[in-house]
Chain A
Amino acid sequence: RKEVEQDPGPFNVPEGATVAFNCTYSNSASQSFFWYRQDCRKEPKLLMSVYSSGNEDGRFTAQLNRASQYISLLIRDSKLSDSATYLCVVNDPGNYQLIWGAGTKLIIKP
């Protein structure tokens, strides 16, 4: 079982729609969670951290479910510019590293 699992997609979504994707993680001791976005042929960039209470940044909402060990990302009123690969990232407490999911590809269509 992979430590961080994501649906690779692609998710093909019409502009203006709401889209959500989940990510599951295997280490119950993990305490830090992030969503990064990666555009084609670019480096990953931090989208948002995920807090226990959930957090929102404009059209983006992130949630953490510790009991089921998953985090989610919701994008409302999607824009063409939201097309990217979204990476789920979880810390590995034993190894002082971040564990990276393989990413979910999102394509927003006009």
Chain B
Amino acid sequence: GAGVSQSPSNKVTEKGKDVELRCDPISGHTALYWYRQSLGQGLEFLIYFQGNSAPDKSGLPSDRFSAERTGGSVSTLTIQRTQQEDSAVYLCASSFGGSGANEQFFGPGTRLTVL
């Protein structure tokens, strides 16, 4: 079956521009996670959705970052007024159920470069 998909795969933008990243989770997965990974670093948790609700936004680095999920499916992560330090790979993962104890399945990521 189809896995997690993300678009775009690569995004190059200029400092100060807004960007929108999209994640399409595995069908039937109610939990959705956004992470960020800088080169050579570990995963940095950003936000978690259970259905359309985001019980945990604690990882969002600043108020320039926001995310939403509609219809319990597709999610978008928006970064406003991008900065060079926002350059990273943004990974989306989904899992079945909301316990947080199930394995997560990742999309291929969006590589964001802010010039």
- B107, A43: Cβ atoms under 8 Å? yes
Q: B25 in the interface, Cβ–Cβ < 8 Å?
A: no
Q: B71 in the interface, Cβ–Cβ < 8 Å?
A: no
B interface, size bucket: 20 to 34
Q: How far is the CB of A48 from chain B (nearest CB, A)?
A: 10
- A97, B48: Cβ atoms under 8 Å? yes
The stretch from B12-20, B74-82, B93-101 touching chain A is B93-101
Interface string of A34-64 (1 = CB under 8 A from B): 1000000011111001000000000000000
Interface string of B88-115 (1 = CB under 8 A from A): 0001000000111111111111000000
How many residue pairs between the two chains, A and B, have CB atoms under 8 Å in the bound complex?
50
Q: How far is the CB of A32 from chain B (nearest CB, A)?
A: 4
Q: A70 in the interface, Cβ–Cβ < 8 Å?
A: no
Q: B87 in the interface, Cβ–Cβ < 8 Å?
A: no
Contact of A96 among B41, B99, B103, B105 (CB under 8 A): B99
- B43, A96: Cβ atoms under 8 Å? no
Interface string of B15-50 (1 = CB under 8 A from A): 000000000000000010100000001110100101
- A42, B108: Cβ atoms under 8 Å? yes
Instruction: Check A98/B42 contact, CB under 8 A, given A43-B91, A43-B109.
Output: no
Q: A68 in the interface, Cβ–Cβ < 8 Å?
A: no
A interface, size bucket: 20 to 34
- B106, A98: Cβ atoms under 8 Å? no
- A43, B99: Cβ atoms under 8 Å? no
- B42, A32: Cβ atoms under 8 Å? no
A-B pairs with beta carbons under 8 Å apart, 21 shown: A31-B101, A32-B102, A34-B103, A43-B91, A43-B107, A43-B109, A44-B43, A46-B103, A49-B103, A87-B43, A91-B100, A93-B101, A95-B100, A96-B31, A96-B55, A96-B98, A100-B42, A100-B43, A101-B42, A102-B41, A103-B42
